[in-house]
Amino acid sequence: AEMTVPQPVYEYIGPPKLVDWDQASLVKWRRAREQYEENIHERSTYEIGKDKSQITDEDIMVKVKERCETTNRDYLANPTALFTQNLKMGLMVKDVPDRVAKYFRQFEKIIADNRFHEHLGRG
């Protein structure tokens, strides 16, 4: 049978949970914790290209910003749905100019929050 859903190319690795305070559980948790720390160390060295002791907050924030920008550009496949879900005309507002102004402020907020302003005017 052919798979219709692509398989993930990543594996979530969460920290081990300490389930009990007896000696056997503590030993098991400690081993799992050491393996977890090794995995995280290897991944951070791979992603940032530095040893763990040399990684700064700035290095981490650069990676976070890169990932967020990539996510905004690459994974927002349907901006029409985003506007449909988040952009509503407030019909309860009686003053029509105020209603329209609020609508446009809402539109501008969606544009700013999703960094669409970089792509406005391009066709």
The whole-number pLDDT of residue 74 equals: 47
Q: What are 68-81's pLDDT values in tens digits?
A: 776 555 456 577 88
Are the C-beta atoms of residues 45 and 52 closer than 8 Å to each other?
Answer: yes
pTM: 0.38
- Rounded to whole angstroms, how far apart are CA atoms 55 and 69? 21
Which has the closest alpha carbon to 108: 90, 92, 86, 91? 86
Q: 3-state DSSP call for residue 97?
A: helix
Q: What are 11-48's pLDDT values in tens digits?
A: 777 899 998 988 999 999 999 999 999 888 777 666 77
- Rounded to whole angstroms, how far apart are CA atoms 122 and 119? 6
